[in-house]
């Protein structure tokens, strides 16, 4: 799975520096809880790469602190899960790869 992903991963979009900086500001309050070899996580990471999204990746399998945060905050030990912090720092937890991708496309106005 990981080898195929590496060999076929999409090329990231290239934006003007100011446009990329604006996207980076909007993604800095996002974190993706994921497993490295999970096919649904790979799907979300490929979409992130395609659109040059700098979203923090948190490995919920190898890092006990991330696993505990996922369970305590999201309510279940399931990936992928996108943690979305609002301006006051309150998180919303979004599960399901298709829902995460739809959220990113809508929230960031991606084509």
* pLDDT tens digits for range 21-46: 999 999 999 999 999 999 999 999 99
> Is the pLDDT reported for residue 111 higher than 70?
no
Q: Is residue 18 part of a domain?
A: no
> Does a structural domain hold residue 74?
yes
Q: Residue 59 sits in a domain of what CATH number?
A: 3.40.30.10
Confidence of residue 50 (pLDDT cuts 50, 70, 90): very high
Number of domains in the chain: 1
What is the rounded distance in angstroms from the CA atom of residue 65 to the CA atom of residue 12?
30
- Domain extent, residue 57, equals 2-10+29-107
Q: Do the domain assignments include residue 15?
A: no
Q: Has residue 53 been placed in a domain?
A: yes
Q: Average pLDDT, stretch 60-79?
A: 96
pTM (two decimals):
0.91
The DSSP line for 74-89 is HSS--SSEEEEE-TTS
Q: Tell me, yes or no, whether 101 lies in a domain.
A: yes
pLDDT tens for 1-23 read 667 676 788 888 999 999 999 99
């Amino acid at each position: 799975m990981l080898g195929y992903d590496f060999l076929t991963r999409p090329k990231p979009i290239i934006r003007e520096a100011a446009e990329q900086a604006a996207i980076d500001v909007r993604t800095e309050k996002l974190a993706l809880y994921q497993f490295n070899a999970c096919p649904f996580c790979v799907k979300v990471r490929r979409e992130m790469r395609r659109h040059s999204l700098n979203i923090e990746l948190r490995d919920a399998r190898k890092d006990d602190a991330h696993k505990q945060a996922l369970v305590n905050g999201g309510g279940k030990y399931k990936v992928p899960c996108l943690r979305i912090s609002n301006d006051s720092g309150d998180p919303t937890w979004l599960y399901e790869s298709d829902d995460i991708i739809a959220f990113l496309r809508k929230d960031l106005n991606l084509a």
